[in-house]
Structure 1
Amino acid sequence: MDPRTAADDEFLAEVEATTWPGEHFGHREHLRLGWLYLRGCGPEEGYARIRSTIQRYAQALGASGKYHETVTRAWSAHVYSALKETPGLEPFEAFLKAHPELLNGRLLERHYRKETLEADAARREWVAPDVSPLPEFP
């Protein structure tokens, strides 16, 4: 399956069922999952779904230790902020084109020291930024 041509509902169903190919679940797909949940469910429920879906997906791939609470929440804050700027923008590729900063895998360095994000505590639970504030996120 080509991740760029899969319909949103197909992508979401396969990720939720943990049948989406792991080699095609990189940064862009994490952003897409966040975009779908946050725009469809709002920030609170959307984040709860992002969190549980990624944890379940990682566990199904035998990589449950890869889930990172602080990184997940921080990226969700950036996706939510972009959604507030362009709430009706579809499809996902147009959203990314309007917000290319989201594709910068080093974006969180604006908010966190490397040591902070690499700490076990940040992986297990939410840790507030120690460089600069994140976009507002409930």
Structure 2
Amino acid sequence: MPILPDTRPPSELELDAFLAAFEAGTLPKEEFTHAGHLTAGACYVHMLDEAAAIDHMRLCVRRFNEAVGGKNREISGYHETITVFWIKALAAVRGTHPALDRVEFTALAVQAYRDRRDIFRDFYDFDVLASIEARRSWIEPSVKPITAANL
């Protein structure tokens, strides 16, 4: 049975269980979908400042990849630019909804971006996914800045 519900926003307890399993590397790999990435990122953005959320997500994704048998290499695994892009995007959205609690903000983020996993392509004039440099280090968007209005 999945930790997070598919048909309704998660509760605080469900978010806590999801984050604990993700951070411990015990979350089933198939549950760390794009929506799972958004859930973790939205929670971290809600709980931490942007820089701390980036650092925490970076650490947790790398660790999770290894815990489920993945490798963080130049051609697979952790991708710095995509990770930082999404945390910055979620932080921009959070700035427009400061009164939302963690559950509300996470539900908003997942609903708004679940089906828009490639939105970062609108911000770069090259295939950021294929770039080894972008996988290793953060590259600023080349087309437009990450703002809530651009998302």
TM-score by length of 1: 0.86
- Taking the aligned partners of 1:35 and 1:107, their CA distance within structure 2 comes to 16
For the structure 1 residues 120 and 20, does the alpha-carbon distance in structure 2 shift closer, same or farther, using more than 3 Å as the test?
same
Identity, in percent, stands at 28
1:120 deviates by: 0.5
What residue in structure 1 maps to residue 81 of structure 2? 70
For the structure 1 residues 109 and 46, does the alpha-carbon distance in structure 2 shift closer, same or farther, using more than 3 Å as the test?
same
Once the two structures are superposed, what CA deviation does each residue of 1:84-121 show, in whole Å capped at 9, x if it has no partner?
A: 11123242224444xx1464012001101343331101
For the structure 1 residues 26 and 102, does the alpha-carbon distance in structure 2 shift closer, same or farther, using more than 3 Å as the test?
closer
- Note if contact 1:34-1:46 (Cα within 8 Å) is conserved in structure 2: yes
What residue in structure 2 maps to residue 128 of structure 1? 140
For the structure 1 residues 30 and 135, does the alpha-carbon distance in structure 2 shift closer, same or farther, using more than 3 Å as the test?
same
Count how many residue pairs are aligned between Structure 1 and Structure 2. Answer: 134
Match of 1:42 among 40, 49, 55: 49
Cα RMSD over matched residues? 1.9
For the structure 1 residues 103 and 86, does the alpha-carbon distance in structure 2 shift closer, same or farther, using more than 3 Å as the test?
farther
Once the two structures are superposed, what CA deviation does each residue of 1:3-22 show, in whole Å capped at 9, x if it has no partner?
A: 43361111111101000010
- Note if contact 2:121-2:128 (Cα within 8 Å) is conserved in structure 1: no
Match of 2:97 among 80, 86, 90: 86
- Taking the aligned partners of 1:79 and 1:113, their CA distance within structure 2 comes to 21
- Note if contact 1:47-1:73 (Cα within 8 Å) is conserved in structure 2: yes
- Taking the aligned partners of 1:30 and 1:96, their CA distance within structure 2 comes to 9
What residue in structure 1 maps to residue 26 of structure 2? 19
1:79 deviates by: 0.7
- Taking the aligned partners of 1:101 and 1:95, their CA distance within structure 2 comes to 6
What residue in structure 1 maps to residue 118 of structure 2? 106
- Note if contact 2:44-2:56 (Cα within 8 Å) is conserved in structure 1: yes
Once the two structures are superposed, what CA deviation does each residue of 1:4-44 show, in whole Å capped at 9, x if it has no partner?
A: 33611111111010000100101111011011111111112
What 5-or-longer segments of structure 2 have no aligned partner?
Answer: none
